[in-house]
Chains A and B, each alone.
Chain A
């Protein structure tokens, strides 16, 4: 009589052990991803991570592991609220595992201990990270370490309405030759103001719509500083630079644009919708934006024939000291210090997989961004897209990035405040420049070189 119960208990014990083993092998992990500056055309910033999760789950299954990855994505269309959310969440120990943000955040966030250096979690010698463009890896690095993996790249061109250029006497050949004239420095920002004025005088655009710059703060405004010969960082010492002469040139240019009547004094703060409507609807003469705007104009603002309606070029030089330029502002996948090391390892694996050229190309083509690596640029889906390939060849090689430095935000904030003050004529250009100088000198001391 004792045999059977023993036998039974043995079976029961085996069954129990087996079930424990199954439970031990089954693993559910939730990875959170937060992305800033992300609208409907940029959804692959998070979708790519979801696709990567699927691949990693399949790989785990083949290895005999039962892994379920749940991706919790959250996006913000703007930057102010997003950066506030990330910073405050991190301070309260609730940072998401993966952060998709501008590369310039690496400086302050790495200092405050918000980030894990991604180089400790991934292999840059292995596919697909070994084909990323080296300059983008540089942009994702700070203080000798690689903190992020580039998620996209872009350029920020100048745009001209072809029909309005024709209305003021440009021939098709002239329009074709315009980008080269901009690049050589023959066509400057002041030539542009003249053309914008002519368009208004010819009544093809309404007063104040000859020139429609970006309506609010953005990396774009550093381009105008560069147009007047400004540098943001001293290559030799690695220190931040404030070039008073370039800043004066830049502020004066916008004041002159107001004087000329091609842009209102109260322009800054105009809504994005107003801007999109005007530029995509061919109501503006000349403007500047980003390569990704083409996708938004087509998806939301009814643009049908981009190449027929618009010409594009670098941002023209402002004077002989400056140069025609464009800034690329890559977003990067960053690993936060939130969660366990195990979660971070998996998150890094997902980012690596999402950087696979075929997956990243979905984002690039859909959103009008540029490839992050050489292999991606040669994928037919990407290479055959006229806009992305044209921008990759024509604009990206001439693009530079804003510096990664934990103090750059102070300079940026002061620069934009000065621009607002001089543009609205609250301050004279000289006073505005002086105010910027005072502010950054007080805040940064000898951490900034003021020229």
Chain B
């Protein structure tokens, strides 16, 4: 028998790995790279994502004045006039303006100038061949405009050329300065991280996030373990029924699940009515008090995670050799002793997995909170991921700060990576993955 070449075996391995690598690249590395890029920009609704143009606006002139640009240059930039000259007539022709109309403009208005568009347009309207559509009239008028004010230039070069044309003897460096200031797009910056570091809100949201993740995680793991172990000791029919019941939060679509919680906790809902009947305070438990809002947030996410833990733990329990349990019973072990000395030691790997997986997914999950308390009342149940989402993509004022939101997301990625390493060390992952000492 010919030994297979290790080189070929590696190629085959690579082929098997390819789909996973492509998915990893597309769904993990690429988003992380993009987030990292966005995080170091001031990208927002106003700057756009795909790059900007160069425009001199009234507001820009004001800020350039504040920055000390000389009055003569500012004045020249603010001028807008319409001059009927040969160049303008050529431009109008190139813009597709009706030849007859151009001839009339040349004949009646040649060498005249107007200081405002409305004055010029009013004059154009008196010409016999004026276009019926106002847009065509404006296109014709635009050809004679001699101004940089409010004109959008696609490139810096075009802006600088226009400025050079407009300004006679500009001060040194003025053109570059104006062109730089006139850019409407995003620029590179590290301010997002600086601002996050000094914003008083940051620590409050971090506190909320830690509180939420720790409590929900504890609920997930302990309830998951409890359910797995109790169903393990139940007869198969009963355990099957309970397992399915506990799976409901996970298999229900998230929006429907959130709506059900609303019915459950809102005014005139299930809990509300029971509380009223018992003479207890009845109010909107989801939004009416900070304590009840947190309880709802933790339970909503806790139940979803608990069912996940339950499935994994149940699977792991099935792998424990049943003879070990029989033997322990012969030795007179109680249920608790079985759990403590036989079951739990063999559950280290699934507990590691559930804990680390759930930590990471809780850190980045916001959908349930968004759909239930929406971070309220006020912003008391707002966690980092929800705040990042709202900052970057969804808020009332429509001021989407992609750069700042990405910086917040990048912080989550970094925290996630650090926590993963901590978990791997804490649960001695390498020992678990090492080759068994006995050859089978």
Contacts and interface: CB of A to CB of B under 8 A. Distances in A.
A420 B396 CA distance: 14
B376 A268 contact: yes
A269 B287 contact: yes
Interface stretch (B10-18, B55-63, B170-178, B252-260): B55-63
A439 interface: yes
A426 interface: yes
B134 interface: yes
Interface in A42-84: 79-81, 83-84
B63 to A, nearest CB: 8
A434 B200 contact: yes
Interface of A: 79-81, 83-84, 86-87, 91, 101, 104-105, 107-109, 111-114, 117, 120-123, 125-126, 143-145, 216-218, 237-238, 264-271, 274, 341, 345, 348-349, 406-410, 412-413, 416-417, 420-421, 423-424, 426-427, 431, 434-435, 438-439, 442-443, 446-447
Contacts of B63: 447
Given A143-B57, A413-B399, A112 B45 contact: yes
B88 to A, nearest CB: 17
Interface stretch (B191-199, B224-232, B297-305, B423-431): B191-199
B397 A413 contact: yes
A253 B142 CA distance: 53
A111 B378 CA distance: 32
Interface SS of chain A: helix, strand, loop or mixed? helix
A144 to B, nearest CB: 4
Contacts of B376: 266, 268-269, 420
A266 B398 contact: no
Interface in B114-172: 118, 121-122, 133-135, 138, 142, 149-150, 152
Interface of B: 44-50, 52-53, 57-59, 62-63, 66, 118, 121-122, 133-135, 138, 142, 149-150, 152, 184, 191, 194-195, 198-201, 204, 266-267, 284, 287-290, 293, 373-374, 376-380, 393-401
A269 B400 contact: no
A144 B48 contact: no
Contacts of B134: 121-123, 126
A434 B198 CA distance: 12
Contact of A109 (B45, B287, B401): B45
Given A80-B396, A420-B378, A442-B199, A125 B122 contact: yes
B62 A112 contact: no
B200 A435 contact: yes
A104 B134 CA distance: 27
B135 A410 contact: no
Contact of B152 (A108, A113, A237, A442): A113
Nearest to B191: A442
Contacts of B50: 91
Contacts of A91: 48-50
A344 B224 CA distance: 58
Contacts of A125: 118, 121-122
A446 B199 CA distance: 18
Contacts of A348: 135
Contacts of B45: 83, 87, 108-109, 112, 409
Contact of A424 (B47, B49, B377): B377
5 contacts: A87-B398, A144-B150, A426-B379, A435-B200, A435-B201
Given A120-B138, A426-B204, A442-B195, 13 more contacts: A80-B398, A86-B398, A112-B48, A125-B122, A144-B58, A144-B149, A271-B266, A345-B135, A348-B135, A409-B398, A410-B399, A426-B380, A431-B200
